[in-house]
Amino acid sequence: MDWHFANLEYGCAAPLKEVSLPYWNQDDVYGGFGGAHCMIKGGYGTVLDHLFKGIDVRLNHVITEISYEVSDLNEIDGRPKKVRVRTSAGEEFSADAVLITVPLGCLKANTIRFSPALPDWKESSIQRLGFGVLNKVVLEFPNVFWEETVDYFGATAEDSNSRGHCFMFWNVKKTVGAPVLIALVVGKAAVYGQNISSEDHINHALMVLRKLFGESSVPDPVAYVVTNWGLDPFSRGHTPLLQ
């Protein structure tokens, strides 16, 4: 059962005790997301690269304040601009409108100052929503030692508290063209895992894999990436949830 509980915690990006019982699977209420699961070769960045064509994109600009006071109207090219955006470097941009798509974790942490403040109903909604933690351990190996035709495989933990620590491995060789597995870290393991090193995560993933396939069959990885979305100042979490 622990593996199935971990799978639910993966879907919610939070320990089950923090998730609303009647509304934990809100996707079902609104029709869900139909169709097969898929991955984009080259990652989602390839989608953005296409959408950004012909658009002035400014990277590495940390927004600290958004002002939409009537008294702050600026005129540019003879037209009044209704919104002013300030960055941590002291730069200012004026516009007719601003579409804000920052992660919920940043809004909950008030990393952007709004002037005037957001209305109470909106601020209350931001604070009542949860923002869970889910992380991934990405491992590239010198060769494939797992069943190459499967999309994913799972592993059960001996301790319920660590049931979400590398409980599922995604086989992404077809997507990235290299022997790569992605291990999921969810539930309590994801919360606790924010305080341990990348090396500890990698060693745990290798321990799980070597229990599944044998010590001699699993080589050391040639490259790795370990995410830590909860401590990333530009996300402060991974997925919204109903508490």
pLDDT (0 to 100) of residue 71: 54
Domains of the chain: 2-44+130-241 (3.90.660.10), 55-128 (3.50.50.60)
Residues 76/80/84/89 CA torsion (nearest 10 deg)? 10
Looking at mean pLDDT, say which of 10-14, 80-84, 103-107 comes out highest. 103-107
pLDDT (0 to 100) of residue 77: 52
The pairs formed by 204-213 with CB atoms below 8 angstroms and a separation of 24 or more are 204/165, 204/166, 205/137, 205/139, 205/166, 206/139, 208/155, 208/166, 208/183, 209/169, 209/181, 211/155, 212/153, 212/155, 213/145, 213/146
pLDDT (0 to 100) of residue 29: 58
User: Regarding predicted confidence, which is higher, 31 or 123?
Assistant: 123
pLDDT (0 to 100) of residue 70: 57
32 pLDDT higher than 90: no
pLDDT (0 to 100) of residue 38: 81
Element (H, E) at 10: helix 2-12
152 pLDDT higher than 90: yes
Q: Give the confidence band of 28 by pLDDT, cuts at 50, 70, 90.
A: low
pLDDT (0 to 100) of residue 35: 73
The pairs formed by 218-222 with CB atoms below 8 angstroms and a separation of 24 or more are 218/141, 218/145, 219/141, 219/142, 219/143, 219/145, 221/139, 221/140, 221/141, 222/140, 222/141, 222/142
> Tens digits of per-residue pLDDT, 173-208?
999 999 999 999 999 999 999 999 999 999 999 999
CA Rg, the chain, in Å? 22
Q: What is the pTM of this model?
A: 0.87
pLDDT (0 to 100) of residue 37: 77
Percentage of the residues of the chain whose pLDDT score is greater than 70: 91
How big is the chain, counted in residues?
243
Q: Which pair of tokens denotes residue 101?
A: 């798509």
- Tokens 């004026």 belong to 94
Of 19-23, 138-142, 181-185, minimum mean pLDDT range: 19-23
Q: Give the confidence band of 74 by pLDDT, cuts at 50, 70, 90.
A: low
Q: How far apart are CA 113 and CA 103, in angstroms?
A: 15
pLDDT (0 to 100) of residue 141: 98
Looking at 53-134, list the stretches that DSSP marks H as alpha helix, in order from N- to C-terminal side.
Answer: 104-108, 120-128
pLDDT (0 to 100) of residue 138: 98
Of 29-43, 86-100, 116-130, 182-196, minimum mean pLDDT range: 29-43
pLDDT (0 to 100) of residue 33: 64
Task: Work out the number of other CB atoms within 10 angstroms of the CB of residue 96.
Answer: 10
End-to-end CA distance of the chain, in Å? 22
Q: Give the confidence band of 221 by pLDDT, cuts at 50, 70, 90.
A: very high
